[in-house]
A and B are shown apart, each in its own frame.
Chain A
Amino acid sequence: MKSYRPHPAWVPWLFLAPFLGLFTTFIGWPLLRSLVLAFEQTYGPRTRVFVGFLNFRGVWQDPWFWTAVGNTLWFAGGILLVQIPVALGLALLLNRPGLRGRALFRLVFFSPYVVGAVFVSTLFALLLEKRIGLVNHALHALFLRWDPDFPWLDQYVMTSLIAASVWLSTGFNLAYLLAALQNVSRELLDAAAIDGAGPWHRFWHVTLPEIRPVLNILILLTVTSGLQLFELPFILYNDTAGNGPNSQALTVVTYLYQTGFISGNLGYASAIGWILTLTLVGLALLHRRLSRSEDYSA
């Protein structure tokens, strides 16, 4: 349908102007600059030399970078394997027909998500502290043989980080999964039950395919956010600039930050940034292809 009194052609541009102006200045331009920077050697903001692929080659041969990659992959894999199943389990419990207080439970589970990563890591640093921390206290009270000096933060770095992340993000995943579960058609489930399908069968063949699109998105979001882990370990191991004991907490973004802002090598940092970005783009494309082929088979 055509409008009777057409608007002047510049109207949409007027509405877009603030976004486009700010985007170009503060995102588009730095994005292009980072591409240039990745091929330059810099010491502080003033001196720079074009060096070709030297930064990328340097990163490739840098053992610290690979330590960071290893830790980051452990973390991303870990939160994927813990966060999503825990959230799905809780969402299934909350979705039981006849359950009262669903909104209240959802509120409780969601509330840590409001707390920023900086504040979560300060809190978890004390929860997991050796003698005085709540976790060791409680475990010692439950199991007398538990050592109250159990070194969570010194030796179980990834476990500690994953625990903090699960507390922080379960509610977010839960909110999406619960919304998806509430959209699964009741009739379909009832029909399956009448046909003699048990609860496990109904979950696997009716519920799971229905919530699949949401689950797919959450898996992608969890992995991509896991690969960008920074604030949790950076604050938790603030005294070692985010390295942690034996660099067990060093992540890719922490290393990017260290090389850029502690060593002042912005070019090297940009090279790391582009390697991360290309990995994320690759994952997103792979994810799109996988979820598409799934749609066809369904």
Chain B
Amino acid sequence: MRRRLTLAVVYALLVLFAGLMLTPFAFMLASTLKTKADFVNTLFLPDGDGWLGVGWDRLTLANYRRLFVELPMARALLNSAFLASVGSIFATLFSAMGGYALSKFEFRGREALIRLVLGALIIPAPLLIAPGFQNLWKLGLLDTYTGLIMPGLAPAFGVFLFRQAMLNAVPSELIDAARIDGAGEFRIFFTLVFPLVRPMVGAFLMITFLGVWNDFLTPQVVLQSPDRYPLSTTLAMLRNLDWNDYGLVLAGTLVSIAPVMCLFLLLQREFISGLTSGAVKG
């Protein structure tokens, strides 16, 4: 009896907190569908005599229409999708390749490189803003997609994660056996090693995709032309232009997070377990 009572209290607390976590999402969704007047007067959905006492007929898609017709939201969405896809695919590939070399090969300089990767983990991104900006300027890459993408393709964190995963999940005997059978080095990597660390590949793709999608500082520093802006900088610009149009700003926010939210809901199991696997077992 007492056990069931405690369990009921646990559920109540969890539901309460879950409600608190979800409220901002509900507020955002409801706000984007309201007119300016209704935004000020009602909290979630406007009252009315429709189903559940909500004035459904007063809801409007005008905010979304404005975002896509008058404002460059579609372009920003496309920019973000492009940058995040290219960035995450290559960052994952290069990290996996680096991690493979540092876990399954023995060569001179390996220990020094492992130490370099570990040391690089602690470099805070803000340190590189100023010299990184100068660097891109010298290379003529300011205000280009190349300049935005390339610095993110060499994550020490990724090499570290893949090295750890491959030390555990890829038996060296298997690689040797494949070599005896005459398989080429790249074939071994792509058909044997890659599938064995598939969970890490999935998790790291997601981590880097989110990282690029949500990055604000890099595009803010590197880009000047608004038509190249991803969602993060577009939204900041929108906020400066139309701050008092709350519904519009929140609609822009919702459009910005909806794609990654869907991706997360599809892949959440792999993502969360991949993310936490290293810390708990290591």
Residues of A with Cβ closer than 8 Å to B? Answer: 1, 3-5, 7, 9, 11-16, 18-20, 22-23, 25-27, 29-31, 33-34, 37, 45, 90, 93-94, 96, 98-99, 103, 105-112, 114-119, 122-127, 131-132, 134, 137-138, 167, 170-171, 175-176, 179-180, 183, 214, 217, 224, 228, 230-231, 234-235, 238-239, 253, 256-257, 260-261, 266, 269-270, 273-274, 276-277, 280-281, 284
Contact = CB atoms under 8 A, between A and B. Distances in A.
A11 B102 CA distance: 11
B180 interface: yes
A228 to B, nearest CB: 6
A96 B113 contact: no
B22 A238 contact: no
Q: B interface, by DSSP: helix, strand, loop or mixed?
A: helix
B35 interface: no
B97 A273 contact: no
| Residue of B23, B122, B159, B272 most packed against chain A (CB within 10 A) | B272
A3 B105 CA distance: 11
| Residue of B6, B176, B273 most packed against chain A (CB within 10 A) | B176
A108 B131 contact: no
A22 B150 contact: yes
Nearest to A106: B272
B28 A93 contact: no
Nearest to A92: B10
Contacts of B240: 238-239
Interface string B209-232: 010011111000100000000001
Q: A interface, by DSSP: helix, strand, loop or mixed?
A: helix
Contact of A30 (B128, B153, B236): B128
Contacts of A134: 23-24, 27, 43
B129 A31 contact: no
A35 to B, nearest CB: 9
A37 B131 contact: yes
Interface in B219-265: 221, 232, 235-236, 239-240, 243, 246, 249-250, 252-253, 256-257, 260-261, 264-265
Given A34-B131, A214-B279, A235-B239, A5 B217 contact: no
Contacts of B6: 96
Interface string B123-146: 111111111111101000000000
A30 B135 contact: yes
Contact of A119 (B120, B176, B257): B257
B280 A123 contact: no
Contact of B7 (A20, A33, A99, A238): A99
A111 B210 CA distance: 12
Given A5-B179, A19-B95, A19-B154, A132 B279 contact: no
B123 A122 contact: no
B276 interface: yes
Contacts of B217: 230-231, 257
Given A3-B176, A114-B210, A126-B250, A31 B24 contact: no
B127 A27 contact: no
A228 B125 CA distance: 9
B127 A34 contact: yes
Contacts, number: 267
B56 interface: no
A183 B236 CA distance: 43
A112 B25 CA distance: 9
B185 A11 contact: yes
B24 A123 contact: yes
Nearest to A32: B131
Contact of A280 (B124, B189, B246, B253): B124
A110 B129 contact: no
A22 B153 contact: yes
Nearest to A105: B14
Contacts of B232: 116, 118-119
Given A26-B153, A27-B128, A269-B129, 17 more contacts: A1-B176, A3-B176, A11-B185, A12-B102, A16-B101, A22-B150, A108-B18, A126-B31, A176-B279, A180-B279, A238-B236, A256-B130, A257-B126, A270-B131, A273-B129, A276-B126, A281-B122
Contact of A116 (B28, B110, B125, B257): B257
A48 to B, nearest CB: 10
Contacts of B246: 126, 132
Interface string B40-53: 10010000000000
28 contacts: A5-B180, A15-B101, A16-B97, A18-B98, A22-B94, A22-B151, A22-B153, A23-B156, A34-B127, A90-B17, A103-B269, A105-B14, A107-B268, A110-B272, A111-B264, A114-B210, A115-B214, A115-B257, A116-B214, A116-B216, A119-B214, A122-B239, A126-B246, A134-B27, A171-B21, A228-B125, A238-B239, A270-B127
